[in-house]
């Protein structure tokens, strides 16, 4: 096949060779959000964040959440899936970091963004896990940005995605001793789109076969994997890595020619 190969950073698992030409056909192109985008400098690779939870005497996380009389004046929103590369709402600040007590899993079905009613795609949710750690991006919205962001995300994540909101404690990569309260969108087993666990190979097969209004399901997987590489070696996600490995093994058979790729 023609086309340049996707070069994996050093330390990446062997066997994953996904061609850039597939990215061009796999879904939407990168779009600049209306607000400032995450600055690569915040994704520091030279200073690893601790792998153990911060000590119990850490400062109380600070954030403002919706009051009874309306929206807050400021709010942090934690993204761990497509929000890490495409928030699509205006925000004042963004920080790369992680939440403790949760693991990321491709257990939520998607019949709109990355799949259809007949062929649901697989997207991520958070699973409560005492030893878990999930990396992502927290966005701060202020003033008029708050209501606009919440209104947009209610449609994107709740109405179309099946997600509920949950308060989490976010630890910025550059200041893990200064945690923040943040709002996260989590798909629980109670929502009708929940697919639950499956072997990574089965998840990879489903991802390769599905696409929705936001693009191909494979694009979703690859962009998330790219983000984790930027976070540095301290950011581990074995579930994600196993699915990427499985895709790398299956892709040559699934899409053997450039002509087949163009049809996806």
Rounded-to-integer distance, Cα 90 and Cα 240, Å? 28
pLDDT score for 53:
41
Rounded-to-integer distance, Cα 259 and Cα 19, Å? 13
Q: What is the mean pLDDT of residues 31-54?
A: 35
Lowest mean pLDDT among 39-43, 111-115, 131-135: 39-43
For strand 164-172 and strand 74-79, is the pairing parallel, antiparallel, or unpaired? Answer: unpaired
- Residue 25 pLDDT grade (very low, low, confident, very high; cuts 50, 70, 90): very low
Residue 178 clears pLDDT 50, i.e. is over it: yes
Rounded-to-integer distance, Cα 89 and Cα 35, Å? 7
Q: What is the mean pLDDT of residues 204-230?
A: 96
Residue 102 clears pLDDT 80, i.e. is over it: yes
Rounded-to-integer distance, Cα 56 and Cα 48, Å? 20
pLDDT score for 232:
87
pLDDT score for 70:
57
Residue 40 clears pLDDT 50, i.e. is over it: no
- Residue 68 pLDDT grade (very low, low, confident, very high; cuts 50, 70, 90): very low
Rounded-to-integer distance, Cα 190 and Cα 194, Å? 7
Residue 54 clears pLDDT 50, i.e. is over it: no
pLDDT in tens, 142-170: 999 999 999 999 999 999 999 999 999 99
Burial 72-93 (b: 16+ CB within 10 A, else e): bebbbbbbbbbbbbbbebbbeb
Any bridge partners for residue 75, and if so which?
141
pLDDT score for 137:
98
- Residue 18 pLDDT grade (very low, low, confident, very high; cuts 50, 70, 90): very low
Residue 116 clears pLDDT 90, i.e. is over it: yes
Proportion of the chain above pLDDT 70, given as a percent: 69
pLDDT score for 61:
54
Rounded-to-integer distance, Cα 196 and Cα 199, Å? 10
Q: What is the mean pLDDT of residues 223-230?
A: 95
- Domains in the chain with CATH codes: 40-262 (3.10.490.10)
Rounded-to-integer distance, Cα 18 and Cα 16, Å? 6
What are the catalytic residues? Answer: 157
Q: Up-side HSE of residue 248: CA atoms within 13 Å toward CB?
A: 19
> To the nearest whole number, what is the mean pLDDT of the chain?
78
What pTM was computed for the model?
0.74
Residues 171/235, Cβ–Cβ less than 8 Å: no
């Amino acid at each position: 096949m023609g086309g340049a190969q996707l070069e994996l950073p050093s330390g990446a698992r062997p066997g994953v060779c996904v061609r850039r030409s597939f990215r061009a056909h796999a879904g939407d192109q990168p779009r600049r959000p209306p607000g400032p985008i995450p600055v690569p400098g915040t994704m520091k690779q030279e200073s690893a964040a601790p792998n153990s939870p911060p000590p119990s005497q850490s400062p109380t996380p600070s954030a403002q959440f919706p009051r009874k009389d309306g929206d807050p004046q400021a709010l942090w929103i934690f993204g761990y899936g497509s929000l890490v590369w495409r928030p699509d709402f205006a925000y004042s600040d963004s920080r790369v970091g992680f939440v403790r007590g949760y693991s990321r899993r491709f257990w939520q079905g998607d019949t709109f963004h990355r799949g259809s009613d007949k062929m649901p795609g697989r997207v991520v949710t958070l699973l409560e896990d005492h030893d878990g750690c999930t990396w992502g991006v927290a966005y701060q919205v202020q003033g008029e940005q708050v209501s606009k962001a919440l209104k947009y995300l209610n449609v994107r994540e709740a109405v179309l995605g099946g997600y509920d909101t949950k308060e989490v404690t976010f630890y910025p990569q550059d200041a893990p001793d200064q945690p923040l309260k943040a709002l996260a969108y989590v798909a629980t087993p109670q929502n009708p789109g929940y697919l639950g666990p499956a072997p990574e190979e089965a998840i990879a097969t489903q991802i390769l076969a599905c696409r929705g209004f936001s693009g191909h399901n494979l694009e979703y997987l690859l962009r998330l994997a790219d983000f984790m590489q930027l976070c540095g070696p301290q950011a581990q996600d074995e579930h994600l890595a196993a699915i990427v490995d499985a895709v790398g093994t299956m892709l040559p058979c699934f899409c053997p020619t450039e002509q087949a790729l163009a049809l996806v």
